[in-house]
Structure 1
Amino acid sequence: MTKSTQAINRAASHQLMKDFSLEMTGKDIPALLEARTLIPLGTRINVTFLGNEDLEMRVAAARSAREMGFVPVPHISARRLESTQGLREFLGRLQDVDATQHILAVGGDPARPEGPYSDSLSVIRSGVLQEFGVREVGIGGYPEGHPDIPTEILWRALEDKSAALQEQGLDTVIFTQFAFDTAPVAEWIEAVRAKGITAPIRVGTPGPAGIKRLLGFARRFGVGANAMIVKKYGFSLTNLVGVAGPDNFVNDLAAVLADHSAGRGPGLPGQVGLHFYTFGGLSETANWARRFTAGQE
């Protein structure tokens, strides 16, 4: 690789790292407070909607993110909502802390809905979001598929949600499930754009975390983690001791996107950023991001 190519690749990685987003749970307020000086102001912080956390925890996390100078992106888990009143109460409480402009609508883990919403599309089509000042809705993307949902249904859902949000005048951003391998991610982005979906895409990948922990999440979410893929990512299935980070993934994805943008690939990727799942902790991911970005300058 020539020095010129290395410089181009570093610039591409630096560009991809701009405006990354992070993930926290309702329990992570102390961790966010600890990491706050490491995270750029204005960073989007997704706040998960877990079954073992309640309304107060979710709202408190969103409020804390806002008060620390970040942009909260609360999750709405459709199948966990017990009623339309419950949705209104959640959004109302979020509006009270100025945290409804950006939300992420997901189906959620329960196999059966706990209320009237069978999926995130039904929440979007309810018309309730606009009543509480929602301007942008995040939706899920699955470059490597979903362990319980056929691929054709995933594509139909993505197209239907994109169309519904456009019809309602709401902005859209796509957050993908985390990945270890850039090849299926790049192919999926190309397919998204081929369908005429132009919304910004935030590609999910884990921040630095213990290898056993990463593999546990990969098995849980049906993410490919065979020997070839994880070696490319930066660790081995035969040595599960230690921590792995997304350096290789970010560099590889940046190079692929740069090639496509320069016309050396089959299609233009459009607006693509990164979303880090903080399995190893907010401070660890924020520290890694600062060190990695400095190394690309």
Structure 2
Amino acid sequence: MSFGSTAHTAVGPSLLKDFSLEMTGKDVTKLEEASTAIPRGTRINVTFLGNETPALRLAAPRTVKRLGFTPVPHISARRLESRQQLTEFLAGLRAEGACDNVFAVGGDPGTPQGPYEDSLSLIESGLLQQYGVRHVGISGYPEGHPVIPAHVLWSALGRKADALARRGLTGSIITQFGFDVDTVLTWIEAVRGRGITLPVGIGVPGPAGVRRLLLFAARFGVGTSASIAKKYGLSLANLMGTAGPDRFLRDLSAAYDPGRHGDVGVHFYTFGGLRATADWVSAFPKETLV
């Protein structure tokens, strides 16, 4: 699995050649409406929210696969109430032919609702391989986490990368979204400096309303200083406006160096909707990325 390119001259277009998208279980109808604008085979991550039923969590990956895309179901460790709940979910994914790729995340609850305290415990359980999982995505936080200290995040990332290698699973990192290219690339260099070579999908917001983007940024501890906002293209004076990642991707393409940053691609958080993001990617003049 590769997110990016090894040829520096082709960096621009390659960043969007193998992008991925994110949706919730409730976005099935929206995915169907957007399907004609999304390249077949695109990886689509399906979140694991607390207000969803087990049936809904399986219906979304089923639809993703039926429409010709690659489902990447999330598994939220701290939301799982028992080992049986995990095995039932994995068995359901296997029955749907949607178990090859998963994304392991700790999840929002501060206290585990069952035996799994974090995504590492999911990987170490051995259950993923038993049910046919071959590739596991894990989280990265270029701007840190609102409640988890930096040294804990770094330790966890290294331990998860090691655990995947020991268990014969391929892996990748998807970062929290952000608006500052320099922060993201500095973090990726630090990842490589720690000997972690997993591909990195840089989290990027799809086009969305400025107010909505700022609300999500505040929720996840993402920096939105006046200088960062201006550089990204966010108008703090016009919260009713919209913003896309045009400038971010051009700046990313210009600064990206495969020798220092390794295998890199783009993962879109579809805050403004799947169709809006898919249409934006399709229309974006990739030849302008140099």
Q: What's the TM-score bracket when you normalise by the shorter of the two chains?
A: over 0.9
Listed as ranges, the matches of 1:170-209 within 5 Å are 170-209=169-208
SS in 2 for 1:63: helix
The amino acid across from 2:248 in the alignment is F
> Cα deviations across residues 181-235 of structure 1 (Å, max 9, x unaligned)?
1011000010001111111100001000000000000000000111110111112
Q: Deviations over 1:21-60 (max 9, x none)?
A: 0001011011100110100000000000011111111110
Q: What is the aligned partner in structure 2 of residue 4 from structure 1?
A: none
Distance, in Å, in 1 between the alignment partners of 2:278 and 2:30 is 11
User: What is the CA distance between 1:9 and its match in structure 2?
Assistant: 9.8
Corresponding pairs, count: 283
Partner Cα distance (1:227, 1:216) in 2:
15
Residues of 2 paired with 1:285 and 1:59: CA distance? 23
Cα distance in 2 for partners of 1:140, 1:274 equals 14
Deviating above 2 A after TM superposition, structure 1's stretches of 4 or more consecutive aligned residues are: 8-13, 293-297
1:76 partner SS? strand
Deviations 1:55-100 (A, max 9, x none): 1111100000001000000000000000000000000001111111
Does 2:280 correspond to 1:288?
yes
Amino acid at match of 1:174: I
Partner of 1:126: 125
Map 1:42-191 → 2, pairs under 5 A? 42-191=41-190
Contact 2:235 2:241 in 1 (8 A): no
Question: Secondary structure of 1:178's partner?
Answer: coil
Q: Residue 32 of structure 1 aligns with which residue?
A: 31
What is the CA distance between 1:296 and its match in structure 2? 3.8
Per the alignment, in what secondary structure is the counterpart of residue 268 of structure 1? helix
Please, what TM-score do these two structures have when normalized by structure 1?
Answer: 0.93
Assess, with a 3 A threshold, how the Cα gap between structure 1 residues 145 and 294 changes in structure 2: closer, same or farther: closer
Which residue of 267, 270, 274 maps to 2:266? 274
Contact 2:37 2:282 in 1 (8 A): yes
What is the one-letter code of the residue matched to 1:133? G
Structure 1 residue 11: deviation in Å?
4.9
Q: What is the CA-CA distance between 1:238 and the residue it aligns to?
A: 2.0
In 2: Cα distance, 1:74 partner to 1:86 partner? 15
Distance 1:203 1:45 in 2: 14
Question: How big is the shift at 1:295?
Answer: 5.4
Tell me whether 1:241 sits opposite 2:245 in the alignment. no
Partners of 1:134 and 1:93 in 2: CA distance: 12
Greater Cα offset, 111-120 or 230-239: 230-239
Which sections of structure 1, spanning at least 5 residues, go unmatched?
1-7, 262-266
Residue aligning to 1:18: 17
In 1: Cα distance, 2:195 partner to 2:53 partner: 38
The question of whether the paired residues in 2 share the 8 Å contact of 1:9 and 1:255 is answered with no
More deviation in 233-242 or 124-133? Answer: 233-242
Query: What 5-or-longer segments of structure 2 have no aligned partner?
Result: 1-6
Shift of 1:294: 5.3
What do you get for the CA RMSD once the two structures are aligned?
1.5
Q: Give the match for residue 3 of structure 1.
A: none
Contact 2:205 2:245 in 1 (8 A): yes
Q: Contact conserved, 1:143 with 1:176, CA < 8 A, in 2?
A: yes
Per the alignment, in what secondary structure is the counterpart of residue 32 of structure 2?
helix
1:237 is displaced (CA, Å) by: 1.4
Q: Give the C-alpha shift of residue 293 in structure 1.
A: 4.3
Q: Could you tell me how far apart the structure 2 residues matched to 1:210 and 1:227 are? A: 17
Query: Residue 28 of structure 1: SS of its match in structure 2?
Result: helix
Letter in 1 for 2:95: D
